[in-house]
Each structure stands twice: as C-alpha cells, then as structure tokens.
Amino acid sequence: MEIDAEVLIAEARRAQERAYAPYSGYRVGAALLGRSGRIYTGCNVENASYPLSLCAERAAVAKAISEGEREFLAIAVVTENGGTPCGACRQVLREFGEEMVVFIADTHGNSRRFTVRELLPESFGPEFLR
C-alpha cells in the first residue's frame, strides 16, 4: 500500500484543530494509517492534573486498537512548530513496529520523514518478551 503523506498530514491538521489544550496552548494532531487503509485520528487532551493528559499519538493508537486495527504503516503528527513525539509516544508506536513511517509537520507546511527506529534507536519491543 502506498503511503500518501499529504493526506495523512491533512488529516492530522484537522485533528489538531480539535485539540483540548487550555493549559499549554500546544495543540497536537495525529493521523495513523492502518494496514487496512483506514486512517485513525487523535488530538491531545490536557487535564488540570497534568499527568492525566493524553497525547495525540496515543489517542490515535487507542482509537485504532479499540476498532480492531493491529498493524500500522505510518503516522503523521502536526504541531505549530514541528515538535516530535514524546518518549512515551515513541515507545507506544514502537510496540507496532520499528519500520512505521512517522511524518512530522508544522502548521507552516514544512514536514520531515522518519521511521520509529530513527526516533527511538536501540528500543525495547515485544520480541524481547518472547
């Protein structure tokens, strides 16, 4: 299956608009492409008790898993300044494969392409528990 970065980034931008970020003002949107071809979106959801906040990437993964998707090809993440996923999100993405493509985009039209392996080298994954 071909990965259309522009479509994924556009979906992530739409998700970013729905972010709930009243404390930081740092709105994040994500769009996760399942092997099925379906796209699952997520946005960050902050909480007054900061540790309970949810990142956009993990929201998209949870949505996909809850709907039965288990294999992913790519994710696009959009922030105002092109910030990369936090460590927790990198580890969650790693659960589903080191070769997953990660597009990082900002609101000015710039984007970069990585793999999970590039963002989280020497990572721990499911194969170590077998």
Helix or strand run (H / E) with residue 10: helix 5-17
| CATH number (domain holding residue 21) | 3.40.140.10
pTM score, whole prediction: 0.96
Residue 50: predicted pLDDT: 95
Mean pLDDT for all residues in the chain: 97
Beta bridge partners of residue 113, listed in sequence order: 103
Could you please report the per-residue DSSP string of 74-124?
EEEEE-SS-PPPPHHHHHHHHTT-TT-EEEEE-TTS-EEEEEHHHHSTT--
Q: Quick check: 13 and 30 in contact, CB under 8 A?
A: no
Q: Which domain holds residue 55?
A: 5-129
Note the pLDDT tens digit of each residue in 37-48. Answer: 999 999 999 999
Domains of the chain: total: 1
Which amino acids are annotated catalytic? Answer: 57
Q: Which of 75, 109, 113 is nearest to 94 (CA)?
A: 75
Residue 3: predicted pLDDT: 94
Note the pLDDT tens digit of each residue in 111-122. Answer: 999 999 999 999
